[in-house]
Each structure stands twice: as C-alpha cells, then as structure tokens.
C-alpha cells in the first residue's frame, strides 16, 4: 500500500496558520511561526501566500472565476437564473467545508484586519454582479443605478443568509433560506424592470376581502409584466 500521500506545502502552511491563529491569536502569530510549524522557511511561505492574511483566504480567486464563468454562460437561460445559480455557488463554497468556514468566521469576527479584508473581497463579488446586471439592463434609463442596487441587494441577501448559518454553527441547510431571500430581492426589483408597451388595454382588478396587500401586489405585478 502506498504511504500517506504527503500534503502539499500550501495545505501544510494553511493548516499551520489556522492552528496557530486558534492557539495564540492572529496578531501574536508571526509568519516565522507559521513557516516553522509547517516545516518550511519564511521565504517559502511568501512564495505560496502573498501576505499573512492570504493564508486564511486561500480560494477567493478561484471562486470569483467560477462566479464569472457562470454569469457569462447565461445566454440560454434568463439572467435571474444565472444570478441565483451564481449566488448558490458562493454559498455552497462555504457550506461544502463547513469546519473551515466556521473556524475562519470566528477568527474574522474578532480580528479587525481580517474583517476589513473579508469586506473588501465581498466588494469584488458585488462588482461582478454589478457588471453582469449592468450589461443585462443595457442602456435602459437608470441602468447603472439599478445594477448597483440589485448587485448590492443580491450580495446583501447572500451575506445575511451566510452569517445566520455561521452564527448558528452551520447547524442547518441554508439553501432554503437563500432561495427565500433571493425571492425577496427578485420580487423587490421585478417591478423596476422597464416593461415594454405591448398594445394598450384596460385593466380592471378585483380581489377577495381576505387578500393581503402583498398578495394583491404580486398578482398585479404578474399581470403587468406578463407580456
């Protein structure tokens, strides 16, 4: 039988970093400590990670690339499906290795430098969504503003669901809540889409006494935007 496949240096470094951050805290851990525990030199650390913070955010670039390709592959289906899929991809990335996500969450929550970095990387996701929505809306009036709003809302919805799941210790399946939250966003922005005139008609609407205003709104929206 083959011996235990020796893990890559990157993995050893990441594990050493997380372990030391857990034991001694982020600030009290030097890059030398991480390299020493991983059994390599300080130079090697900086060849694999460009900064001390990078050791704990290893895969943001790869995820960004996956989001980008998913969004760009939205020729056939509708844009909303592409957005929903892309957001689900992000959440799945966290849920798939929950232990790592949870440990990182605890760390990020209490180290300001890591929190700021997390926020900055979230902004990069938001930028991807904004560009996609912007291209989708074309040059309709207020396209830039609407793209900005929609991207911010999509990302905020995802973060709300993710943070709740993290705070609960990853105890449940968050995809239902994500769909609910995204449904909120989509319903919110649906009536901002510029509907095209398609022959004029008189609309007369009647509703039962027990219909909630929100149900009324949704019914009306469905009618108004069915072309």
Partner DNA sequence: CATAAGTACGGTACTGAGTTTCGTACGTTT
Partner DNA sequence: AAACGTACGAAACTCAGTACCGTACTTATG
Residues that bind DNA (CB under 7 A): 9, 29-32, 39-44, 46-48, 50-53
Distance CA 38, CA 116 (A): 27
Binding mask 151-170 for a second copy (x = CB under 8 A): xxx-xxx-xx---x------
Residue 12 Cβ vs DNA, minimum distance, rounded to whole Å: 10
* DSSP-derived 3-state class of residue 213: helix
Binds 227: which of a second copy, DNA, none (CB < 5-8 Å by kind): none
- For the chain, what is the largest distance between any 2 Cα atoms, rounded to a whole number of angstroms? 78
Q: Site size for a second copy, by CB under 8 A?
A: 49
- Residue linked to tokens 């670039």: 61
Residue 7 Cβ vs a second copy, minimum distance, rounded to whole Å: 31
Rounded to 5 degrees, what angle do the CA atoms 148, 151, 155 make? 140
Binds 221: which of a second copy, DNA, none (CB < 5-8 Å by kind): a second copy
- The answer to whether residue 64 forms part of the interface with a second copy (CB under 8 A) is no
Indicate the residue among 73 and 222 with the shorter CB distance to a second copy.
222
Distance CA 29, CA 41 (A): 15
192 phi, psi to nearest 5 deg: -95, -15
8 Å CB contact between 56 and 21: yes
User: Which structure tokens are listed for 226?
Assistant: 């069915």
- The answer to whether residue 139 forms part of the interface with a second copy (CB under 8 A) is no
Closest CA to 17 of 85, 135, 111, 86: 111
Task: Provide the binding-site residues for a second copy, judged by CB under 8 A.
Answer: 115-117, 119-120, 123, 142, 144-146, 148-149, 151-153, 155-157, 159-160, 164, 181, 184-185, 188-189, 191-192, 195, 197, 200-207, 209-210, 212-214, 216-217, 220-221, 224-225
């Amino acid at each position: 039988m083959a011996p235990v496949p020796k893990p890559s240096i990157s993995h050893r470094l990441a594990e050493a970093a997380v372990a030391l951050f857990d034991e001694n805290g982020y600030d009290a851990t030097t890059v030398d400590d991480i390299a020493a525990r991983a059994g390599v030199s300080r130079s090697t650390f900086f060849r694999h990670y460009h900064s001390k913070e990078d050791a704990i955010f290893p895969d943001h670039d790869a995820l960004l690339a996956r989001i980008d390709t998913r969004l760009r592959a939205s020729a056939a289906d509708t844009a909303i499906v592409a957005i929903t899929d892309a957001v689900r991809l992000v959440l799945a990335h966290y849920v798939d290795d929950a232990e790592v996500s949870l440990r990182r969450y605890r760390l990020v929550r209490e180290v300001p430098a890591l929190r700021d970095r997390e926020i900055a990387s979230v902004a990069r996701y938001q930028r991807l969504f904004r560009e996609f929505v912007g291209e989708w809306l074309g040059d309709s009036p207020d396209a830039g503003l609407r793209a900005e709003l929609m991207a911010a809302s999509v990302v905020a919805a995802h973060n709300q669901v993710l943070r709740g799941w993290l705070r609960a210790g990853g105890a449940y399946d968050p995809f239902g809540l994500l769909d609910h939250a995204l449904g909120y966003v989509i319903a919110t922005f649906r009536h901002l889409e510029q509907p095209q005139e398609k022959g004029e008609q008189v609309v007369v609407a009647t509703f039962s006494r027990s219909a909630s205003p929100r149900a009324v709104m949704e019914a009306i929206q469905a009618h108004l935007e069915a072309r």
